[in-house]
Structure 1
Amino acid sequence: MALKKSDLYSSLWRSCDELRGGMDASQYKDYILTLLFVKYVTDKSKSDPNSLIDVPVGGSFDDMVSLKGDKEIGDRINKIIGKLAEANGLEKVIDLADFNDEEKLGKGKEMQDRLSKLVTIFADLDFRGSRAEGDDLLGDAYEYLMRHFATESGKSKGQFYTPAEVSRVLAKIVGIRADTRQDHTVYDPTCGSGSLLLKVVDEAPRGLTIYGQEKDNATWALAQMNMILHGYEDRDIRKGDTITSPQFTQGSRLQTFDFAVANPPFSTKSWRNGLENDYGRFDFGWPPEKNGDYAFLLHILKSLKSNGKAAVILPHGVLFRSHAEANIRKELLRRGYVKGIVGLPANLFYGTGIPACIIVLDKENAQARTGVFMIDASKGFIKDGNKNRLRSQDIHKIVDVFNKQIEIEHYSRMVPFHEIDDPKNDYNLNIPRYIDSSETEDIQDLHAHLHGGIPDRDLDALNGYWEAFPSLRATLFKPNRRGYSDLAVVVAEVHQAVLESDEFQKFAMDVRGRVDDWFAVHRPVLQALNPDTVPKDLIACIGDDLLARFKNTPLLDEYDVYEQLMTYWHGVMHDDVFLIMNDGWCEAAKPRKTIEDRERKLSETPDLVIGSGRSATKYKMDLIPPALIVARYLADDQTKADELHAAADKASRAVEEYIEEHTVEDGLLAEAMDSGKISKVLASTRLKVARHERTDLEEIKALQCLVKLYNEESVAKKVAKEAQAGLDLATLKRYGDLTEPEIKQLVLDDKWHATVTGRVASETESLTLALVSRIQQLGERYAMTVEDLVTDLAKLESLVAGHLADMGVA
């Protein structure tokens, strides 16, 4: 069975659990990533004889496996890693973590057990099928770990990682195109773990030459491992402080590059410490002594070739802060170097919760530039734990809008220089000055509150709906007086009226038809999945096509539709594709027994259980859920089983209702209830005693009836259980009879197509709910006039006065 992404993630995070007690995430990440590296290069050397990493005898992960239970396991792992490092010139890169550190890993047996379990978890992973140039399972795993390490490390130590979603945005808007030559260079002066550089290179079909610099020694080592894991052994990643000791120089000048990306530390206060040579970086002005944001931006600008391009993440303050920074900003704008600005949501980054922006620099044709393209993407995100995260739709929208320079009201516009240098703005680039993204205020209409009716201006604001459903407004509303309307249906019936309208039903059918047409086009490609398929290219192709098909659909946001597909892809479909690629359709569809391993804290939830008790056999169906088998081949059996379950539930309710009815005070079974809940055993025992004593014939009859109901319930439950067991057995057997065409039909049509169709349909349903909610809100808001309220108040006052008079109160 191929290693799925979700299985890999859970295995890696269990490995973290083994270390979490002895150290914090900023420390144990070095151990986990080192083992991940050794395991990967060991597996790759077995499947790729041309691997550039030499795995020497005594320096492989297999040598670590042989140490499980060894009393000197920590010291011997260090030696194995040392041999691997020495063979490849990776000293001080992969050998920084000390696996014999008693303070972190425990002493004696504790260290022995902990490291043995850790090695066992990694031994179960198989990276021989992982291809850095195709479906980057390993890269995904590395990214997953880095994100979690950054989350757990907190503000002080989480800056080594740029969220992958933000990295993708930078990579896609920095200016790389399909025809970008392989000899072009990309540079990150604050490269951290290297993830941002890798995302950029991933956008270049022909590849790029990688350069980077990182100040922190441990993080520099992470970057080196990350590059090797992704197959970029020829990268050039150097150590040192970029501002005070730039490593890429040519005499008294900085080396220049075609592209640059960076996520520098925000607002560094000590950036000048040790600065001796400015390399001409600050010709436009010196940044404030206690704020280094512009120092990094100017360094990057100076490191670009005459037609170079860069994308840099900086805090919003760089857009509007005054004094020295304002002067630098003015010089950059006057020369046309600033191509665009993207405002990002707050709380995306691990080192800080403040909102940041992306500054896009472009020296090519800078003098001809007439404006700055701005995007306010601050509201496009999803909550993810205690952080915010860009969704697939947010990334795609930012990239589309920026690269095509599309102006969208409240979201993006090209701001001309004459507006920026206007005295009222004075080169202040704060995005809200140029893009108003605030929500439209919901204004209360006093005239409507006084005289009734819903203001037509509130209905006009729903014009998108009336354009999509031209006759619906006339169905829902009728004229009241000039400028005001009344609901033509009661508030409670608005939803049904919308759903039953011919135009809405036609709209829903059109949406479904677009999904059907989209899937029909791509079905042959999905049906032909094989080991050479590149999943990231596959989802890019089908995702972009789905987005394009909904581009001009009224009401529906094409990016919301796209997100439905991408959420399903990341949650389910990617694993399915990976299984099929590696195992083939038939093998991937086979049921397998669940993994139960208490020692390794691993237990899978079964999809199907055959038998009961200790003899039960539990199965996992990775590709085809049992419900799909039942729905297509065993629907009649399922219907019968459902009927029997319903009958059993009915019998149980009859017992509960009878007990409830007769155990009230003075009820026929009240006395029996004093002994506790009346179970079947208690009722039978009580009946024997009552018959023997012959004290109360009515109680005897009631107990006889209850015992009868309990017996009927037992029979009904037994029959339902047997029917379900028979259905489960038939389902398991049906898996063994499936042909490859049947498997493809189940996966392609019943699973993927049906799920995406349902998800997109939910977007249509959300539209109706939003419309109905607004109409109901307006209907209820203006349902009663002030006159109605005064009348009601008078009635209540009269009623209260009457009650007071009856009580003799004047």
Structure 2
Amino acid sequence: MAVKKSELYSLLWDACNKLRGGVEPSRYKDYVLVLLFFKYVSDRYKGQRFAEFTVNEGASFDDLIAAKGKPDVGERVDVILQKFLEDNKLAGALPEVSFNNPDELGSGKELVDKVSGIIAIFQNPAIDFKSNRASGDDIIGDAYEYFMMKFAQESGKSKGQFYTPSEVSRIIARLIGISNIKQETDKKWMLHDPAAGSGSLLIRAADEAPTDDNGDSIVTIFGQEKYPDTAGLAKMNFILHNKGTGEIKSGNTLANPQYTDDFGGLRKFDFIVMNPPFSDKDWTDGIKPSEDKYKRFDGYGIPPEKNGDYAWFLHVLKALESNGKAGIILPHGVLFRGNSEETIRKAVLEKRYIKGIVGLPANLFYGTGIPASIIIIDKENADKREGIFIIDASDGFRKDGNKNRLREQDIEKIVQTFIHQEKVEGYSRFITYKEILEENEGNLNVPRYIQKTDDTLPQNIASHLMGGIPEVDINALERLWKISPELRQEIFTCVDEEHNVYNLTIKPDEIESIISEDENIKIEKENECGDLFKTWKSSVKDSLLNINSDTNPKELIRSLGIEILRDFESAKLLDNYDVYDFLLNYWNEKMQDDVYVIKVSGYEAGREIEYVYAQKKAKDENGEEIKVDDTSKMKSFEGALISRDIIEREYFETELMALNELIEKSAVLESELDEMREEESGDEGLLVNALNEKGDGIPKANLNKQIKELESKKTSEVIDDITKLIELFDAGSTSEMEKIVKVNSELKIYELRNKNGSFGKAKLRNALKEAKDNAIMPETYADEYDALLSYQAKLTEKEEVDKAIKEAQKVLDDLVLAKYGELSVDEIKHLLFDEKWMARLESDITDAIDQVLNNLASRVVLIAKRYEQTLSEIEQKTAQSKAKVKSALERMGYTW
């Protein structure tokens, strides 16, 4: 079974937890990612000849396992890792960590336990990367990216700047046009990032490039990163994303660029992506701008001494080929700041290198909360460019803790709008260079060109004074009236045509039902839940039912997403980008894992089951006591691909219904028991003497003990006589026993004698029990006794139902387990496609439409109620209330 993203994420954080207490949080990534990298490479390449990496004896993850628990485990791990790095000429290329560092990991047993514990986490079978050899390993690389993001979140301003949010990276990668290049015999396409950080921007851009016949990207990647440890992270990132040939160099790009040509100038690249330090105050360190030997500022001017945004920008321009393209992330201020920056900006605009600008939401980036922009540069045919396409995407995001994050729909909307140059009111438009330079003096501030649409309703003073609903408020619900024009007339009627004032024709509490029952609304809902969804479902069915080892999951979800945008374009209730978001969220949550599993193991993986076992104690290879699965005691199970509830619903509906009825009955009985206990658990309650110490439950032992105690209080002449008979029997006084039996005729109904006519001890005891059962409880205890017996009877009934549940569950479990093994590939495909993937998406769409209709109904009610009372009516009611209060106070003796 291929590694699952969710399991890998969880295990990475488990490894972090092992480091807490000594290692600084900023160092977690170095230890954990080095081990992730080593485990991945070791699993993937050990024992393979002519592989990309050499994994020799004494330098594999198996050797780390052998070192676990040893007193010198830290030293052994360092030796193993160092040998691996030297064998692969990676010494010094990765972050420097020592697993024998007492300052961070403690000493003695503490160090042994920490290091051994981390190794044990990566030893987990759930992250055996051997099974990912054929999958493209995107999940491994994406897990690395996820971990880097989490680290950036926790590190805050000081350490988060090395990481570009993956959502922004994905946008830039698609906007620079790298996907449009073609493989050419005499052309070597080159992609560069001068401020590479952990390499995510480079990787995302390279992922968009076409591949050759061997499946390798046709672009070569080159990065430069100031800090050596971060450069090491980038190198690992390249390898985990199958881009191990990518080059990363360390050094200050502005002062000492590592990529130069044979003539001492900057090497030229076809594509550049970059997220430099915002407003870099130290950009002049090591450089005298007026004497820059690379001539980056010639013809533009020198950026401000304490703000290096344009220094980075001009470096990119200089390093781009004559037809090169770039995507740069810079703070919004570069678009409108004055002085020397204005001079530079105007010079750049005169050359018409800027193709597009995307204004992003504030608080997206780790290390700063200021808003940023993506600036797209394209030198190709720049002299013929007539303007710049601008997008204001500042409102499209979701909250994620104390940061904002772009949603999947925000990413795709930016990309599709930019690619197709669509004008969207309040969102995007094309601005000519004439408008920019002549009318706005080179100011590129996005809000200057795109005015946001305001969907808030202004207060209408006339309606507040005179009453009635202004037409402008009603028109604000145009989305609803376009679906059902008749609905408008059904809800509102015009009472003043001169001033366009309306009144409600129905009661406010009838609005929601009127809208939901409207025939046009029903038709549109059915269209979006049914017809449009079925169209998309039919169009993607073949793709999802024919996944194989050659399937590219990222290309697959891209095609599914584009198709759903197209098919829901005509939707009137839902925005097609909202529907796209449902698909991508589910892909990230679950569907992606499923596709990778099928890619590696085929649809037959649908037969696989994951078991949860009880734990038992055992000894590890070092004699240490550990807990392992006790495979003889299964606690639960779940399908690896297809959940058991799907199997139950599809094949065992009768058994499932019967089980659910029992479960429901048990829940009802539990509720009735709780109700009985709560009603009778006060100080005078009839069940108070059976309660536990906390007073919130009645243990069965307490219940039986209290019943038995009350039963001991039952008395009768028959009980007394039988008790006397037992005493006499023990004393051997048979004659006295006969006298008692002769006197008390009631004793005749009890069986006291054996077959030979003699008294029997067992007979007497049974008779005593029967007599007590027949005896009447003293009135003082009768109510409590009855309450206890009622509770006991209800509890017994529940216990019998619970027993039946266990038996029914066991039968159903056995049926389900057997069915997994019998599933055909066609059945698996049906269950995955129809009952899992499509069922979830259809449910999301249906729920969203219901929410939209609820929101629209609420908006209508709001419009109806905001002018429900005129100002004079409110003043009149206020005066009446004031008079009533004053009168009441006067009656109480207050005077003014």
Specify the alignment match of 1:735 in structure 2.
817
Aligned alpha-carbon RMSD (Å): 2.9
Higher mean alpha-carbon deviation, 277-286 vs 178-187, is at 178-187
Distance in 2 between the 1:62 and 1:678 partners? 53
Alpha carbons of structure 1 residues 618 and 662: separation in structure 2 relative to 1, 3 Å: closer
Alpha carbons of structure 1 residues 403 and 806: separation in structure 2 relative to 1, 3 Å: same
SS in 2 for 1:254: coil
- Aligned AA (2:476): A
**Which of the residues 281, 301, 306 maps onto 2:296?**
281
Distance in 2 between the 1:122 and 1:668 partners? 58
Is the counterpart of residue 786 in structure 1 residue 871 in structure 2? yes
Contact 2:396 2:410 in 1 (8 A): yes
Distance in 2 between the 1:597 and 1:356 partners? 52
Higher mean alpha-carbon deviation, 35-44 vs 301-310, is at 35-44
Alpha carbons of structure 1 residues 789 and 585: separation in structure 2 relative to 1, 3 Å: same
Contact 2:670 2:798 in 1 (8 A): no
- Aligned AA (1:219): T
Alpha carbons of structure 1 residues 646 and 55: separation in structure 2 relative to 1, 3 Å: closer
Distance in 2 between the 1:469 and 1:774 partners? 16
Higher mean alpha-carbon deviation, 566-575 vs 448-457, is at 448-457
SS in 2 for 1:421: helix
Identity %: 41
1:346 Cα deviation from its structure 2 partner = 1.5
SS in 2 for 1:373: strand
Is the counterpart of residue 307 in structure 1 residue 323 in structure 2? yes
Alpha carbons of structure 1 residues 555 and 697: separation in structure 2 relative to 1, 3 Å: same
Higher mean alpha-carbon deviation, 268-277 vs 128-137, is at 128-137
Structure 1 length as normaliser, TM-score?
0.92
Contact 1:476 1:494 in 2 (8 A): yes
Aligned residues: 797
Distance in 1 between the 2:616 and 2:504 partners? 63
Is the counterpart of residue 244 in structure 1 residue 255 in structure 2? yes
Contact 2:46 2:54 in 1 (8 A): no
**Which of the residues 137, 144, 151 maps onto 2:139?**
137
Spell out, residue by residue over 1:217-252, the C-alpha distance to the aligned partner (whole angstroms, 9 max, x if none): 111122222223333343332221111111222224
Distance in 1 between the 2:515 and 2:47 partners? 60
Specify the alignment match of 2:443 in structure 1.
428
Higher mean alpha-carbon deviation, 155-164 vs 560-569, is at 155-164
Distance in 2 between the 1:806 and 1:110 partners? 79
Which blocks of at least 5 consecutive residues in structure 1 are unaligned?
601-613
Specify the alignment match of 2:74 in structure 1.
74
Contact 2:413 2:577 in 1 (8 A): yes
Distance in 2 between the 1:690 and 1:484 partners? 82
**Which of the residues 201, 213, 217 maps onto 2:224?**
213
Distance in 1 between the 2:357 and 2:805 partners? 64
Higher mean alpha-carbon deviation, 688-697 vs 727-736, is at 688-697
1:153-192 aligned at under 5 Å gives the runs 153-181=155-183, 183-192=188-197
Alpha carbons of structure 1 residues 391 and 598: separation in structure 2 relative to 1, 3 Å: farther
Higher mean alpha-carbon deviation, 290-299 vs 699-708, is at 699-708
Distance in 2 between the 1:531 and 1:133 partners? 7
Distance in 2 between the 1:112 and 1:671 partners? 54
- Aligned AA (1:401): T
- Aligned AA (1:311): G
1:97-112 aligned at under 5 Å gives the runs 97-112=97-112
- Aligned AA (1:256): K
Distance in 1 between the 2:304 and 2:633 partners? 74
Alpha carbons of structure 1 residues 214 and 260: separation in structure 2 relative to 1, 3 Å: same
1:504 Cα deviation from its structure 2 partner = 1.4
- Aligned AA (2:106): G
Specify the alignment match of 2:755 in structure 1.
none
Distance in 2 between the 1:159 and 1:560 partners? 31
Specify the alignment match of 2:284 in structure 1.
272
Specify the alignment match of 2:527 in structure 1.
510
Is the counterpart of residue 796 in structure 1 residue 878 in structure 2? no
**Which of the residues 438, 448, 463 maps onto 1:448?**
463
Spell out, residue by residue over 1:694-738, the C-alpha distance to the aligned partner (whole angstroms, 9 max, x if none): 897375145414522441243134314523541353144223224
1:671 Cα deviation from its structure 2 partner = 9.3
Higher mean alpha-carbon deviation, 693-702 vs 494-503, is at 693-702
Structure 2 length as normaliser, TM-score?
0.84
1:691 Cα deviation from its structure 2 partner = 4.5
Is the counterpart of residue 492 in structure 1 residue 509 in structure 2? yes
Alpha carbons of structure 1 residues 583 and 736: separation in structure 2 relative to 1, 3 Å: farther
Alpha carbons of structure 1 residues 617 and 307: separation in structure 2 relative to 1, 3 Å: same
1:208 Cα deviation from its structure 2 partner = 0.3
Distance in 2 between the 1:678 and 1:195 partners? 56
SS in 2 for 1:159: helix
Structure number with greater Rg is 2
Distance in 1 between the 2:541 and 2:28 partners? 45
SS in 2 for 1:577: helix
1:687 Cα deviation from its structure 2 partner = 4.1
- Aligned AA (1:152): E
- Aligned AA (1:260): I
Distance in 2 between the 1:598 and 1:191 partners? 48
Alpha carbons of structure 1 residues 491 and 249: separation in structure 2 relative to 1, 3 Å: same
Contact 1:648 1:713 in 2 (8 A): no
Distance in 2 between the 1:621 and 1:553 partners? 36
1:408 Cα deviation from its structure 2 partner = 0.7
Specify the alignment match of 2:707 in structure 1.
684
Spell out, residue by residue over 1:510-530, the C-alpha distance to the aligned partner (whole angstroms, 9 max, x if none): 112211221123223322223
Specify the alignment match of 1:96 in structure 2.
96
Distance in 2 between the 1:35 and 1:663 partners? 58
Contact 2:468 2:502 in 1 (8 A): yes
SS in 2 for 1:89: coil
Higher mean alpha-carbon deviation, 186-195 vs 627-636, is at 627-636
Is the counterpart of residue 398 in structure 1 residue 414 in structure 2? yes
**Which of the residues 335, 348, 356 maps onto 2:372?**
356
SS in 2 for 1:574: helix
1:787 Cα deviation from its structure 2 partner = 3.9
Contact 2:607 2:823 in 1 (8 A): no
1:112 Cα deviation from its structure 2 partner = 1.6
Distance in 2 between the 1:292 and 1:403 partners? 30
Spell out, residue by residue over 1:621-661, the C-alpha distance to the aligned partner (whole angstroms, 9 max, x if none): 33222322222233333333333333334334444445555
Higher mean alpha-carbon deviation, 360-369 vs 685-694, is at 685-694
Is the counterpart of residue 414 in structure 1 residue 419 in structure 2? no
SS in 2 for 1:594: strand
Alpha carbons of structure 1 residues 674 and 273: separation in structure 2 relative to 1, 3 Å: closer
Contact 2:134 2:549 in 1 (8 A): no
Distance in 1 between the 2:687 and 2:805 partners? 34
Specify the alignment match of 2:401 in structure 1.
385
- Aligned AA (2:867): Y
Specify the alignment match of 2:762 in structure 1.
none
Contact 2:47 2:55 in 1 (8 A): no
SS in 2 for 1:471: helix
Distance in 1 between the 2:369 and 2:605 partners? 47
- Aligned AA (2:38): V
1:145 Cα deviation from its structure 2 partner = 1.8
Spell out, residue by residue over 1:728-761, the C-alpha distance to the aligned partner (whole angstroms, 9 max, x if none): 5314422322422333322221111111101111
- Aligned AA (1:266): F
Contact 1:380 1:394 in 2 (8 A): yes
Specify the alignment match of 1:761 in structure 2.
846
Alpha carbons of structure 1 residues 656 and 555: separation in structure 2 relative to 1, 3 Å: closer
SS in 1 for 2:130: coil
**Which of the residues 638, 641, 661 maps onto 2:659?**
641
Distance in 2 between the 1:493 and 1:593 partners? 52
Spell out, residue by residue over 1:73-130, the C-alpha distance to the aligned partner (whole angstroms, 9 max, x if none): 2222222222222222212113722222111122122222211222222233322343
Distance in 2 between the 1:672 and 1:71 partners? 56
1:563 Cα deviation from its structure 2 partner = 0.4
Contact 1:192 1:220 in 2 (8 A): yes
**Which of the residues 763, 787, 800 maps onto 1:718?**
800
Which blocks of at least 5 consecutive residues in structure 2 are unaligned?
212-217, 619-631, 717-775
SS in 1 for 2:415: helix
1:171 Cα deviation from its structure 2 partner = 0.5
Contact 1:37 1:225 in 2 (8 A): yes
Contact 1:373 1:412 in 2 (8 A): yes
SS in 2 for 1:128: helix
